[in-house]
Amino acid sequence: MLRIPIALSFLLAFSAPSTTFAQDPSKSIESQTGRIAVETFAEGLEHPWGATYLPDGTLLVTERPGRLRLVSTDGAVSDPIDGVPDVLADGQGGLLDVALDPDFANNRTVYLSYSEQRSGGAATSVGRGRLNENGSALSGFEVIFRQEPAVSSRHHFGSRLVFAPDGKLFVTLGERGKAQQAQDASNHLGTVVRINPDGSVPDDNPFVGKDGADEIWSYGHRNVQSAAIHPETGVLWTAEMGPRGGDELNIPEAGRNYGWPVVSWGRHYSGKRIPDPSTRPEFAGSIHSWTPVISPSGMTFCTGDMFADWRGDLLIGGLSAAGIVRVRIDGEQFAGEEVLALGSRVRDVVQAPDGAVMALTDEPAGRILRLAPAASQ
């Protein structure tokens, strides 16, 4: 990965260095492939939600209350970046995911998803702006997509941002607690949408020229907060939260209906049964489901050399699982899993340039944890 020297003004934007994160041999966990050292890489973040690496190795991190920050290569956390849009930080809403334009090295464009107050309630929006050279501000921020309709609810905003190899942007959207609306392809509730980087609609989207919202890629989802592109196939994978049981791992296919709330591997919170997906073959099936739930949020494919035994595995943040769920896959099939227990709700998982695994903890005093193979004793 190209490493660009950090300008002096960029360094001055950071607060004093955080607590030293040198490896503590006593802070490790056992995995199926050996002991894993767990360090606090950065701290003092309020409900960190999404993160992505810049070309120079610094992390761009969102905080749900509405702040965007840079975290330096030594774990120092910057002051909030200017130019972030106003967000509705209420319930599960706030500033959500962050992604870099595929041509970031030339255009420095950053994409954000967030909950936005609108007439009729709130909904998830996506916008983009240019990050200045010293990393202190976004300029020219513009909204490129708005989920419709806005509704009165504090729940299920989604939302992950993932660029496909062809440059199209996938956005995952929750059904905002309006479960029945997820079966209506004329709106964006409970969908995965696919747009061009400027927000326009690709001509080959499945509902273009048909009944259904042009931006929709797939629908019938509940609340998708995990998404990643398979590094070899270029295909989108997602994980979504079920109700009382029934979290799902999916490969969303163009135009397919994933069944919520008509079918689910879980039950309603009241305990009322929901028909199993196998009873309705017209709906697309999942790769795997979890009961009890893991509450998936954030995920990445492991591609680095540091965890060679994990290469090709999915690493999924677990809120209920209080750690990272490592999923082994064989082609497009589930092949096993283990929970890496960290004792904290994990909102997002990203892979560092050196191959370490970074986990964002969903806490008022949130941290970024660094996982690496423990040194041999």
Q: Which residues are catalytic?
A: 156
Label residues 284-308 b or e (16+ Cβ within 10 Å = b): bbbbbbbeebbbbbbbbbbeeebbe
Write the CA distances from 338 to 49, 226, 325, 331, integer angstroms.
23, 17, 6, 18
Whose structure tokens read 């340039």?
A: 353
Reading phi first (left if > 0) and then psi (alpha if -120 to 50, else beta), residue 261 is in alpha
CB-hemisphere CA count at 13 Å for 265? 19
How far is Cα 204 from Cα 191, in angstroms, rounded to an integer? Answer: 17
The pair of three-digit structure tokens given for residue 112, joined into one six-digit string = 């954000």
Say if residue 292 is preceded by a cis peptide, omega within 30 of 0.
yes
Reading phi first (left if > 0) and then psi (alpha if -120 to 50, else beta), residue 37 is in beta
Mapped onto helix, strand or coil, the DSSP state of residue 179 is helix
Residues forming a β-bridge with 172: 192
The pair of three-digit structure tokens given for residue 13, joined into one six-digit string = 């934007």
- The closest alpha carbon to 160, from 291, 49, 259, 253, belongs to 49
Say if residue 202 is preceded by a cis peptide, omega within 30 of 0.
no
The pair of three-digit structure tokens given for residue 15, joined into one six-digit string = 């607060």
Amino acid identity of residue 268, one-letter, is H
CB-hemisphere CA count at 13 Å for 145? 29
